[in-house]
Amino acid sequence: MPLVSMNEFFPKAREKKFAVGQFNMNNLEFAQAITDAAQELNSPFIFGVSEGALKYMGIEYTVAIAEAAAKKSGLPIALHLDHGSSFEVAMKCIRAGFSSVMFDGSHYSFEENIRLTKEVVKAAHAMGVSVEGELGTIGGVEDDISVDEADASLAKPEEAIRFYEETGVDCLAIAVGTAHGMYAGEPNIRYDIIEKVSSQIPVPIVLHGGSGVPDEMIRQSIAAGVGKINVNTENQVACTQAIRDVLGKDAKVYDPRKYLTPARKAMVEVVKSKIELFGSANQA
Ligand SMILES: O=C(O)C[C@@H](O)[C@H](O)C(=O)COP(=O)(O)O
Ligand SMILES: [Zn+2]
């Protein structure tokens, strides 16, 4: 199966009230683990790729790996630019074979964010590519750039509704209290904001900062209108911990396969648990 736009699975997710996981790809082992987990549970999913990860992996390798995953698994998989910072980066990804892009204009003024997002939507839709927009500021560390919790501002429902109406995005990330990275305590998720916006727009709300959010909060967020949930940090932690365990037990190990195999297995378990929690198992 070729890579698909997120609109391939969003209508079903909304109708059946489940969320599709965006799992970030940082290298080949991440891609394999995510695909194996999804294949075992017959789930659609989204490969998220940040600009930092793109630089690390190279755009050609990234697209080739995602296409191989889609072909091998037969699952509906979207390859999605995560937190794209400009029209140019979004177009570069689309030209290379991405089936979906995020334009993160949350650092611009509201009106400028609308104007820039609209341009991306117009170009992307003409090529059958789906678009995610962002409103409000999500706290924590995003692709190595730290946003102070105090600077993180929640999205205003009226603005979010107007943002959707004017831009025509296919899903909308709004700041509702989650943060990137692991939480010191528990997040305070504003289900009321999710519900208010979701009841007025026909596309899913996106929850960034999905790592470390307690299961019950995830379930409540999906019930309120979240249809896409981003997870990266939990996979990074599981991967690194497994590598530490192997090297900690035997400092003489030098074959990368000896520590990357357990690392990949650890990530398969993380992704499977998220797919079960998000309700997307058997929805491919
Ligand atoms: O940090 C990245 O490279 C990707 C994240 O910004 C992603 O969009 C995300 O929201 C993941 O959240 P987390 O796993 O809770 O850090
Ligand atoms: Zn994010």
Give the domain CATH number at 218: 3.20.20.70
Mean pLDDT of the chain: 96
pLDDT at 146 (0 to 100)? 59
Average pLDDT, integer, range 205-214? 98
Residue 177 domain flag = yes
pLDDT of 259 over the 70 cut: yes
Ligand 1 pocket test, pick from 144, 230, 237 with the greatest ligand atom count within 8 Å of Cβ, gives: 230
Residue 195 domain flag = yes
C-beta separation of 166 from 124 below 8 A: no
Average pLDDT, integer, range 250-279? 98
The number of folded domains in the chain is: 1
Does residue 139 line the site of ligand 1, with CB under 6 A? Answer: no
Residue 154 domain flag = yes
The pTM (predicted TM-score) of the whole model is 0.96
Report how far ligand 2's centroid is from the alpha carbon of 230 (Å): 7
Q: Is 83 annotated as a binding residue?
A: yes
Residue 246 domain flag = no
| Selected residue with higher pLDDT from 144 and 244 | 244
Does residue 230 line the site of ligand 1, with CB under 6 A? Answer: yes
| Selected residue with higher pLDDT from 185 and 79 | 79
Amino acid at 273: S
For residue 188, what are the domain limits?
6-232
Residue 273 domain flag = no
pLDDT at 138 (0 to 100)? 87
pLDDT of 278 over the 90 cut: yes
Which ligand 1 atom sits nearest the alpha carbon of residue 233? Answer: 14
Q: Which residues surround ligand 2, an ion (CB under 5 A)?
A: 208
Tell me what percent of the residues of the chain surpass a pLDDT of 70. 96
| pLDDT confidence tier of residue 228, bands split at 50, 70 and 90 | very high
| Selected residue with higher pLDDT from 35 and 149 | 35
pLDDT at 152 (0 to 100)? 63
Distance (Å, whole) CA 186 – CA 178: 9
Average pLDDT, integer, range 55-83? 98
Does residue 136 line the site of ligand 1, with CB under 6 A? Answer: no
Ligand minimally distant from the alpha carbon of residue 53: 1
Is residue 245 flagged as an active site residue? no
Residue 158 domain flag = yes
pLDDT of 270 over the 60 cut: yes
Does residue 180 line the site of ligand 1, with CB under 6 A? Answer: yes
Which ligand 1 atom sits nearest the alpha carbon of residue 212? Answer: 15
pLDDT of 249 over the 60 cut: yes
Residue 28 domain flag = yes
- The tens digit of pLDDT for each residue in 95-109 reads 999 999 999 999 999
- The tens digit of pLDDT for each residue in 101-153 reads 999 999 999 999 999 999 999 999 999 999 999 999 887 766 666 565 555 68
Amino acid at 278: F
pLDDT at 139 (0 to 100)? 76
Does residue 232 line the site of ligand 1, with CB under 6 A? Answer: yes
pLDDT at 151 (0 to 100)? 54
Report how far ligand 1's centroid is from the alpha carbon of 85 (Å): 15
Sign of CA dihedral 271, 241, 231, 186: positive
Residue 54 domain flag = yes
